[in-house]
Chains A and B, each alone.
Chain A
Amino acid sequence: MGSLSSAADAVLASRAADGDQVAFGVLVRRHAPFLVAFATRLTRSRADADDCVQEALITAWRRLPDLAEPEKVRSWLTTIVSRKVTDRMRSKKISEPIDEETVAVADDPERAAVASSQMAALKKVLAELPEELRVVWVLREMGGHSYDEIASETGETPATVRGRLARARKTVLERMQEWR
């Protein structure tokens, strides 16, 4: 694989679109950890996240020849993942969340304590948000998607997205009050 790992996303995506499986493998390794983390927050389940991301990546392999802007491959992949997740949610195939928080014990508990308890608090608040609010929050704040993109991913209007995001933020700010 050699020098491929130093290639830009656009180069790898172009090669992969031309059928280079090895280049696709490098792209997958570069972005999968982010995609799984992103999908975990959307689905609240690591197992569902794994399934959705794996399916999404195989879909991406098939659709790569249609990708118009290969330099935007990461955001394109994020969109495919969020579509897979929202499709599943619509068909109610997402399992009820079990508290399976993938807790990696911090190396330096003293130093990490404050930051991580704040993070843990936010994780909990996000997991408890109603699904429609959680989805827009994750797509916006973690995925960096625009209102229009979120609207097309969730089948809502941009105005609805705007309202839900405001409600999500309001709830998060209220529940995270002690951390603000």
Chain B
Amino acid sequence: MSENNDEVGSSGFSLEDLSAYLDRGRVPRIAAIERDAECQAVLASMERMGRLSREIVDEQAAEPLAESWYDDIMREVMREFRAGRDIPLARTDDGTEIVVTEGALYELIRCVGDGVEGVIVGRVRLDQPEPDAPLDVRVSISVVFGRRMTDAVDEMRDGIRTAVERQGDLRVGRVDVTVGDVHLEEEEEA
């Protein structure tokens, strides 16, 4: 398979064999390579050069990027709002329907999370089986280390119901809150 006939020492292995072996994490173990001094030296050098090249990236990545660099991207991102489907919110007597976008409800639910101690809202999913049916909500949250999860979940569930039902005639059905992550207090992160 390897056309590379530059055998390492007299090991019977080519440099390409060693290179691929290294990238397989040296698994499964090939005793003939692990016992050969020259192969070991080559593998060690390859590893060292790999490590050194990651240090090159780390070194450059330690330099902060200019604020204007971020502004260019965020300007574009802010322009592209994802609204999602329309969900009927209320109907006036003259038959006019008021709708709310899924995107706006996601935002509302994230804000509920901001008001609950130690909670960060992740993914939100809404399901309304038919037009006037109650809205089912599924939300995944991250809870700060040390906070009782069941308390956080209860507060979220009540908060979501209240916040959504305050908006209009829309009723909330099931609210499933999943704790998908735990995070540390902000100070813990550099």
Measuring CB to CB, which residues of chain A are less than 8 angstroms from any residue of chain B? Answer: 2-8, 10-11, 14-15, 17-21, 24-25, 28-29, 32-34, 36-38, 40-41, 50, 54, 57-58, 61-62, 65, 70, 102, 104, 115, 118-119, 122-123, 126, 137-138, 140-142, 147, 159, 162-163, 165-167, 169-170, 172-173, 176, 180
Report chain B residues within 8 Å CB of A25: 70, 74, 77
Report chain B residues within 8 Å CB of A50: 69
B56 touches A119 (CB 8 A): yes
A162 touches B19 (CB 8 A): yes
B77 touches A24 (CB 8 A): yes
B106 touches A170 (CB 8 A): no
Shortest C-beta distance, B80 to chain A (Å), equals 7
Shortest C-beta distance, B3 to chain A (Å), equals 7
Stretch at the interface among B31-39, B115-123, B127-135: B115-123
Task: Give chain B's interface residue range (CB within 8 Å of chain A).
Answer: 35 or more
Stretch at the interface among B45-53, B87-95, B166-174: B45-53
Shortest C-beta distance, B155 to chain A (Å), equals 15
Chain B residues 30-75 with CB under 8 Å of chain A are: 42, 45-46, 48-50, 52-65, 69-70, 72-74
In the assembled complex, B188 has its CB within 8 A of some CB on chain A: yes
Majority secondary structure of chain A interface residues (helix, strand, loop or mixed): helix
In the complex with contacts A18-B124, A104-B63, A166-B15, A123-B56 CB distance below 8 A = yes
Shortest C-beta distance, A129 to chain B (Å), equals 11
In the complex with contacts A18-B124, A170-B6, A141-B69 CB distance below 8 A = no
Most chain B CB inside 10 Å of its own CB: which residue of A19, A140, A163, A176: A19
In the assembled complex, B107 has its CB within 8 A of some CB on chain A: yes
Shortest C-beta distance, B27 to chain A (Å), equals 14
A7 to B23, CA, bound (A): 32
Report chain A residues within 8 Å CB of B16: 162-163, 166
Kindly report which residue of chain B lies nearest to residue A56, judged by CB atoms. B73
A-B contact count (CB 8 A): 174
Shortest C-beta distance, B183 to chain A (Å), equals 5
In the complex with contacts A15-B122, A65-B82, A166-B15, A6-B188 CB distance below 8 A = yes
Report chain B residues within 8 Å CB of A7: 120, 122, 142, 181, 183
Shortest C-beta distance, A134 to chain B (Å), equals 11
A41 to B73, CA, bound (A): 22
Contact with A32, one of B42, B49, B65 (Cβ below 8 angstroms): B65
A36 to B42, CA, bound (A): 30
Report chain B residues within 8 Å CB of A20: 106-107, 110
A58 touches B76 (CB 8 A): yes
In the assembled complex, B180 has its CB within 8 A of some CB on chain A: yes
In the complex with contacts A2-B186, A15-B121, A58-B73, A10-B180 CB distance below 8 A = yes
In the complex with contacts A36-B65, A163-B3, A19-B54 CB distance below 8 A = no
A162 to B4, CA, bound (A): 11
